[in-house]
Amino acid sequence: MEPGTRDKGQGKREKPKGTRLALAAILCSLFVIADSAQAQPPRPDPRSNADIMVNQPPSPPDGFVPAGELLAREQLPAAPLVIGAYAVAWVAVFGYLWLIWQRIGRVERELAGVSRRLAPGERR
Amino acid sequence: MRKLFTPLLVIVAAMFAYAPVMIYRAPYESTMGLVQKIFYFHVPSWVAMFTSATVCGVASAVFLFKGRRSADRIAVSAAELTLLFGLIGLITGPLWARKAWGVWWQWDAKLTSALVMWLIFAAYLLLRKYGGAGSEKLAAVVGFFGMANWPFVYWSVNIWRTVHPKTTVVPTLPPPMLGPLLWSMGAFLGLYALLLAARVRLENSRAELDELYLDIED
Amino acid sequence: MSPETRPSFLGTAWLVMRKDLVVEFRSREVVYTTLFFAVSCVLVFAFGFVREGVAVDDAAAGILWIAIAFSGTLALGRTFERERQNDTLRALLLAPVDRAALYVGKLAGVVLLLTVVEAIVVPLVALMFEAPLFAHPVLTAGLLAAGTLGFAAVGTLFAAMLVRARSRDVLLPILLYPITIPVIIAGVRGTAALLQAEADLPLARMWLSMLVFFDIVFVTLALWTFEPAMTE
């Protein structure tokens, strides 16, 4: 190894087991959400004409149109997906932030330790 | 830079805390109902990913042609964030598509081209990790080419097929929906700046540590 | 080399290409092995996509371009492996010649190699899949030429970059395929447009112009980045 290149894997070996477990839990919950979303077929509603939309795959929309009083019952199959989506975003983002924070702390502690070892005069 | 960190963190956290309220209050969209609300996180995470890819590409070019190490540190941080925000987009996209279009993955233009870009930046990180010494410069070429490739990937996949809502949707959004979207976009971009700063700080500290070890060895 | 005797840009490129061709001609190792690999590729994919003797729609175009991509990657790896073993790349880089000319010379060699491979594989695919690849020879040749150039342009740069890297064998495809996806899409769709019952010529021409544009952009970028990438 040329001088100046440390094995980059050194710092990462200390990844706590908790992080791995958390990631596994997230993945498992994603599967559960996906499964529950598939398991519930949309229930046809006799009173509104919205069931036509529900029983056919909706054509891809060209624009967004805000609805008035629509579909309270359309919500249930969608809810797990929406919750899943938001959960993924939150967990990914703040998980990453936490990870970086941990690593910064570790490296800066090491930095302080090494600086102390070097006698004041030797530091270039 | 460090002094801005905590206030920025507070602001971003507050924005994220308030975002669900705004999103909840936004009106339902007529054909898609509740599931369309994924849009408020899906689109901003793409914006963040695209920003990050550009930052990585530009920083890579600067490192490649000017040799500035700091640019390389920014590039690697931006590449990781591209993957992070891309992953959010790639997971929320199919979750939305499942309900709106009936299938998880439909090879539509935007999702597919985003996947390709994600793979390019994953390749960037793989090269840095497993390429051995001197792979920073090689990875910079990949990052630079990746950014330059974006229009080609998008056009070719777009002509190949397209099912996505057209991009012109956003300017035609009614104010009750535009508000939460812009808020979320602001939150995500603020978050991106925060994460980039944190990650670059980590890289800088690691570089400083490496230099100290060098000093010891001498 | 004094400035008066230093070869010009094209002269350098020609010398490099000639060197590669002469070395290759002596053993013909890379040509034969790449060719046979391409043929096996076509066969393997055929078993995937031919049902009861009839190929799935557009299978011929897809299989052709996948075979080109895979065998191209292999050829790139082999060509630069040879340079690495004899450390000749460093010798070339030390020569007082324009670095970009080295890139052009290498690129020309790779494109020539792939052309030879395609000369065999294209008729083979036409035969095995009853694909009228020679119905519009100019457009088909144009698509193949532009696509091969685009793929080789990026591939030559990456393969040269990776010569001194670890895990270079697997890293080359990982880096190359995502970036050349536009080339593959354009090549396959353009060829498929020509293979239809009533060939869609305007569509094929559109894909061809996209390929040409890609080539111009990425050859330029590669020329630009070759020197910084190859120097320490």
Per residue of chain B (218 residues), give pLDDT as tens: 566 677 877 877 777 777 777 777 777 666 666 667 777 888 888 899 999 999 999 999 999 999 888 999 999 999 999 999 999 999 888 888 877 777 778 777 788 889 999 999 999 999 998 888 888 889 999 999 999 998 888 888 887 764 455 554 555 667 777 778 888 888 888 888 888 988 999 999 999 888 888 887 77
Mapping DSSP to helix (H, G, I), strand (E, B) and coil, where does residue C51 land? strand
Range A68-76 average pLDDT: 46
Q: Is the pLDDT of residue A95 over 70?
A: yes
Please, what's the b/e burial string for A63-97 (b: 16 or more CB within 10 A of its CB; e: otherwise)? Answer: ebebbeebbebbeebbebbbebbbebbebbbeebb
Which residues in chain A have Cβ-Cβ distances shorter than 8 Å to B166? 62-63
Among B82, B205, B218, most A C-beta atoms within 10 A, so best to mutate, is B205
pLDDT in tens, A8-60: 444 444 444 555 655 555 555 555 554 444 444 444 444 444 444 444 444 44
pLDDT band, very low/low/confident/very high, at C199 (cuts 50, 70, 90): confident
Tell me, what's the pLDDT at B109? 76
> End-to-end alpha-carbon separation of chain C, Å?
23
Angle at CA of residue C12, ends C8 and C15, nearest 5°: 135
Out of C164, C171, C186, closest to residue B127 by CB: C171
Count Cβ atoms below 10 Å from residue A12 Cβ, excluding itself.
10
The neighbours of chain A, by the rule of 3 or more Cβ pairs under 8 Å, are B
Tell me, what's the pLDDT at A31? 54
Tell me which residue of B30, B15, B14 sits closest to B174, measured CA to CA: B30
- Which of A72-76, B102-106, C184-188 has the lowest average pLDDT? A72-76
| Residue B171 DSSP symbol | G
Q: What is the model's pTM?
A: 0.77
What is the distance between the alpha carbons of residues A34 and A32, in angstroms, rounded to a whole number?
5
B155 to chain A, any CB pair closer than 8 A? The answer is no
Single-letter code of the amino acid located at A124 = R
| Residue C97 DSSP symbol | S
Å from B69 to nearest chain C CA? 13
